[in-house]
A and B are shown apart, each in its own frame.
Chain A
């Protein structure tokens, strides 16, 4: 799942996870860069670098690049003394931090590992679906391109072959798909269309679906709006405020429909709409209501 910042990526990712879990698929939602947005939706304690069950069949993990690096090294080096030497060494930390893109690479490596049916991590569960709450627009493209960039820099060695394997994993349309979350506003629509283009052309991944999130209901017809506009300048405070709120909602719902039509014209992937939820804070129940609309 990717999209511009603030469009509700995590909520949609969780809703998608709930949907899959309800269908009996064991699903995990991954946060990257040590974010904890998914666990926050469940009002759960931070999960960190652990696979934690949020609901039946629905798990969550927050991928910390340093932990991923550590795990990767553990899997690579079988000699215990060598591992200890590496982890004790401050130079190793410097080198790892100095190598551009290594953090992103080991993060994607961990996602790949989670998606394997033959888990590398001892006693790792098998997941049917791995949902990644990926970085926002600008960084999302770079993130997905990391393996290819890396395969080009490190021309030899295990990292080279593993980076290549990750790149084919990301670009394998049978295995990996991208969903973009958008909002029905001018700039998010522009960005989503540009993002879809770049994902297809530059990264070479399949964009399977675009979720237009936060769509207001069309509560009032044009004729009704006209009869309300008379009240909006009236005397009665409460009636006037209610009429104004209705007109404002009517206007926004209409401009949102125009943006939805514009998005549909500009993208190739099917666009699915999700309603705006009139709720103070979004929790698991709100996400579940969205999940029923995901289809």
Chain B
């Protein structure tokens, strides 16, 4: 089992993907701070609306510009920081506006798009536009070349597929060729398509209300000069994602459902020919050291040491509960490794304290940046941690 440092060696982009609630934001922050501690200039990007990353990095708030995390904060936690850690929270709307400004042939067409109500809805709310803008920002930062490594915390889409599919869906929509021809009542295509199309449009108008159709038509007209620029850019974004210096990490939890999602997401990555780096399973209940026998004599042994049978019973019961969870986790992770045909499963234990600050990130990194054997030993509490780094 390689460490995360080995997996990311020589990489310029690391994309953390997975379903919601599995600790993706925390993992991204931990990876970024760990790589920064090892001497790289790293920027971590999140588009999580809940500002969790800012919380865990001790930043009041994050904006659409990268901010440097104060070195002193790490020192206060006893963490050596050899490189630099930067962080930003993606503002999808602002990024989209910037993109339109860049692609627009002139100011007038730019303003027509920016003021269009359909555009305002899309740039704020259309499913996939956040994901698409995350890719955009990633591409922009990569092109600027200010950082050695970019770590992207992907949005918590319910369906992992949304995220990979977003750029394609959105460009398709903006392209909207098939729509635009029907929007122009006098257009040649509308005349060719004939009566059925115009009846169709009038039916649609009856359902959604006339304004909406007018706004849509205006939107596609306003965008018409920018379609080629958008397409060219989307192509470059896609080739960046498939680059060998890019690395996708799948983050999940040890329960059945998150494991299923991780398997599914991995399959999608392989199908899309995107570079898969490894999988990180958070909050794993590690098995205790292999016990002799079935542990049936444990309550007695505990009672003898504690001199309290009631307490011994509760300790044994708690241990049995914990072991049952550890066995479940081990079974699920075994299935995950088999499905992914990989040995690169990094297990982060269910720590006694939940992680929400730099100290917690450093604790996670003891595991992320350890080799497989070191990790087992750490989890079993058999060794002291190596020199503390973020």
B294-328 to A contact mask, C-beta < 8 Å, 1/0: 01001001100110100100111111011011011
The answer to whether B356 and A98 have CB atoms under 8 Å apart is no
Using a CB–CB cutoff of 8 Å, the interface residues on chain B facing chain A are 19-22, 48-50, 52, 55-56, 117-118, 121-122, 125-127, 156, 158-159, 173, 176, 178-179, 182, 196-197, 199-201, 203-212, 215-216, 253, 255-258, 288-289, 291-292, 295, 298, 301-302, 305-306, 308, 311, 314-319, 321-322, 324-325, 327-328, 352-354, 356, 381
Most buried by A among B121, B179, B288, B318: B318
Residues in chain B near residue A224, CB distance under 8 A: 308, 311
B121 touches A149 (CB 8 A): yes
Known: A155-B211, A159-B207. A246 touches B318 (CB 8 A): yes
- Which residues from B are CB-within-8-Å of A124? none
- Is A7 touching B324 in the complex (CB atoms < 8 A)? no
Contact of A85 with B199 in the complex, beta carbons under 8 Å: yes
Q: Which of A135, A142, A156, A191 contacts B158 (CB 8 A)?
A: A135
Shortest C-beta distance, B196 to chain A (Å), equals 6
Contact B328 A73 (CB under 8 A): no
Once the chains bind, are B208 and A6 in contact (CB under 8 Å)? no
Residues of B close to A85: CB separation below 8 A? 196, 199-200, 203
Q: A231 and B381: CB pair below 8 A?
A: no
Most B Cβ at <10 Å: residue of A99, A137, A142, A194:
A99
What are 6 A-B pairs at a CB distance below 8 A? Answer: A5-B22, A73-B207, A82-B199, A159-B207, A231-B305, A245-B319
Answer yes or no: A24 CB below 8 A from chain B CBs: no
Nearest-CB residue, chain A, relative to B349:
A248
Bound CA span A85–B209, Å: 19
Stretch of A167-175, A182-190, A201-209 on the interface side: A182-190
**Bound state CA distance, A185 and B52, in angstroms?**
13
Chain A proximity of B215: nearest CB distance (Å): 7
Q: Does the CB pair A242–B204 fall under 8 Å?
A: no
B354 x A157 contact (CB < 8 A): no
Bound CA–CA A248/B209 (angstroms): 60
Check B203–A255 contact: CB distance below 8 A.
no
Q: Which one of A7, A40, A154, A239 contacts B208 once the chains associate, using CB atoms below 8 Å? A: A154
A219 within 8 A of partner (CB): yes
Q: How far is the CB of B379 from chain A (nearest CB, A)?
A: 11
Within 8 A of B (CB), among A121-174: 135-139, 142, 149, 153-160
Does A153 contact B200, Cβ atoms closer than 8 Å? no
Partner of A153, one of B215, B291, B315: B215
Given A5-B156, A35-B158, A246-B315, answer yes or no on A154-B253 (Cβ-Cβ < 8 Å): no
Interface size for A (C-beta < 8 A) is 74
Known pairs A231-B306, A238-B291, A251-B352; A243 contacts B315 (CB<8 A): yes
Q: Say whether chain B's binding surface is mostly helix, strand, loop, or mixed.
A: helix
Tell me the minimal C-beta distance from B342 to chain A in angstroms: 23
Kindly state the separation between the CA atoms of A76 and B199 in the bound complex, as whole angstroms.
16
Please indicate the chain B residues that have their CB under 8 angstroms from the CB of A155 in the complex.
209, 211
Decide if B207 touches A91 in the complex (CB within 8 Å): no
Given contacts A4-B20, A94-B178, A239-B302, contact A154 B212 (CB under 8 A): yes
Chain A's closest residue to B332 (CB) is A280
Q: Please, which residues of chain B bring their CB within 8 A of the CB of A252?
A: 352
Extra contacts, 6 of them, besides A73-B207, A135-B158, A157-B209 (Cβ < 8 A), are A92-B200, A97-B173, A138-B48, A156-B209, A157-B208, A185-B354
Determine the distance from Cα of A89 to Cα of B207 in the docked complex, in whole angstroms.
15
Contact yes or no, B302 A76, CB < 8 A: no
Which single member of B207, B258, B288 contacts A158 (CB below 8 Å)?
B207
Do B50 and A4 touch (CB < 8 A)? yes
CB pair B325–A278 under 8 Å, yes or no, is yes
Q: CA A158 – CA B353 in complex, angstroms?
A: 53
- Contact assessment for A91 and B178 in the assembled complex, using a CB-CB cutoff below 8 Å: yes
Complex CA–CA separation, A141 to B305 (angstroms): 54
Docked pose: A191 CA to B22 CA in angstroms:
15
Known: A153-B211, A154-B209. A95 touches B314 (CB 8 A): no
Which of A37, A142, A190, A245 has a CB less than 8 Å from the CB of B125? A142
Q: A101 an interface residue at 8 Å Cβ cutoff?
A: yes
Judge whether A153 and B117 touch: CB under 8 Å.
Answer: yes
The minimal Cβ–Cβ distance linking A193 to chain B, given in whole angstroms, is: 11
A156/B210 contact (C-beta < 8 A), A239-B302, A245-B322 known = yes
Min Cβ gap B123→A in Å is: 10
User: How far apart sit A90 and B200, CA to CA, in the bound complex (Å)?
Assistant: 10
CA A40 – CA B317 in complex, angstroms? Answer: 29
